[in-house]
Structure 1
Amino acid sequence: MKASPAERMKALRVSRETLEKLEHFAVLFQKWAKSINLVAPSTLEDLWQRHIVDSLQIFHLSPSPKAWVDLGSGGGFPGVITAICLSEYSDGWVDLVESNNKKAAFLRIALNETGARGSVHPIRIEQAPSVIPRCDAVSARALSDLTQLLDYCTPWMLEETSNTVAFFHKGRDYQQEVDKAVSRFQFDLVKHASVVEPDSVVLEIANLSRRTK
């Protein structure tokens, strides 16, 4: 994404301060990616569009400060990006769940050096609800199919009083995953067209419940 700072801020819909933090994160990411497989190597040259802008979609869809859980945070997408956006606020937090210790170390440094509002939990996703008992929103990107993601989310979303909403990036075959998931779950679904990839979407899911036979 070759553009002036002003053009980039406008395109990304972020402040100058947030842009500076995103740029610092990008430098850190490129440095660490030389020794750790943070994303597919073929996508590194298009880091901004394929990963940063793609991740920014999540925050733009739900921009008010929230308690987030980001599952399988990997290279920080979308969790670190959301946490950087939240640094403009005095509220909101992202709990990043990443069981790989090397990736978790990178995530900690990225959060610390950008002043992002988040923390890292180097645990398995199945352990996360006991460590993070509640949240307002869940995110995940390139992690698993929709049915598995909803299974992961049930501890936060199935409570009668829960208003937790989930946001999942999905590729062009997302409808097959939705069709499979509805055989086990009921939920409200909003499909947001991706601003990065044609035919891709961000699925917004609320009011999750299990189907009873």
Structure 2
Amino acid sequence: MNTKNASDIGIDVSRETRERLERFASLFQKWASTINLIAPSTKGSLWHRHIADSAQIFRISPEAKHWLDLGSGGGFPGMITAILLAEKGEGWVDLVESNHKKASFLRMAIAETGARAAVHPIRIEEAQQKLLESDAISARALADLDQLLAFTEPWAKRNPLLQCYFHKGRDYRAEIDKARGRWSFDLVIHESAIEPDSVILELATIRRISQPASGAE
């Protein structure tokens, strides 16, 4: 797939949603010229590498109502999920992004697109105590799987039915093996339809089975 616009993101959407995505992409390009929202080498493939890639999470789990997106950065995948939820007229995404410039961009993007989301310019550790409920958690290019599970542990304890969706590259199996040393979880591996050698890891029933070594976290 070589996605160039909103007409080909792997999900059938309305004209209104395509227009929302195109408004987001236009705003993103303007802001990315002044602040570092994504790696400069991928700016030329915004639709393919970032928007369509992010949309895969919604395709996998369209029924989740309350999303928590950790380290939202330039809005991937959380803003894309929030725009797609706007078509359904229900559901919500809490975007956690501690960088205030990126948080400002996300606020503007929500206002421009009508995405069903709110921005929280706080660290993940603070969000663990302030944003208490979630049905599903997403993250992309944030941390290795072991650290991601440590981030999500408080929500998993509060909600045994929590689902997590993490984009991962070609080294994902090594990350899984490392995480298995400290965590128990159910796992489904979804091959990416966008990026070769990439996957989306779907995790549930997350439980810590051993404590980190002193000073490890």
TM-score of the alignment, normalized to the shorter chain, above 0.5 = yes
Matched letter for residue 172 of structure 1: R
Structure 1 stretch 92-101 or stretch 161-170: which is displaced more?
Answer: 161-170
Distance 1:57 1:158, change over 3 A: same
Distance 1:128 1:152 in 2: 10
Q: Matched residues in 1 for 2:93 and 2:53: separation? A: 17
Cα displacement (A) at 1:162: 2.1
CA distance in 2, matches of 1:2, 1:119: 27
- Is residue 9–residue 19 contact of structure 1 (8 Å, CA) maintained in 2? no
Distance change in 2, residues 1:199/1:115 (3 Å): same
Check conservation: 2:185, 2:203, Cα contact below 8 A: yes
Contact residue 65 and residue 93 of structure 1 kept, 8 A: no
Q: Is it true that 1:163 corresponds to 2:161 in the alignment? A: yes
1:14 aligns with 2:18: no
Task: Report the count of equivalent residues.
Answer: 209
Whichever residue aligns with residue 46 of structure 1, its letter is S
Contact 2:124–2:151, Cα closer than 8 Å, also in 1: yes
CA shift, 1:64, in A, is 1.7
**Residue deviations 1:119-160 (CA, integer Å, cap 9, x gap):** 00000011102211010000000000000000000011124x
TM-score, normalised on structure 2?
Answer: 0.92
- After TM superposition, the score normalised by the length of structure 1 is 0.94
1:11 to partner: Cα distance: 4.3
Correspondence for 2:120 = 121
SS of match in other structure, 1:188: strand
Contact 2:163 2:204 in 1 (8 A): yes
Aligned residues with identical type, % of pairs? 59
Gaps of 5+ in 1: none
| Deviant stretches of 4+, over 2 Å | 9-13
Between the aligned partners of 1:117 and 1:93, the Cα distance in structure 2 is: 5
Superposition CA RMSD, Å: 1.5
C-alpha distance in structure 2 between counterparts of 1:153 and 1:172, whole Å: 22
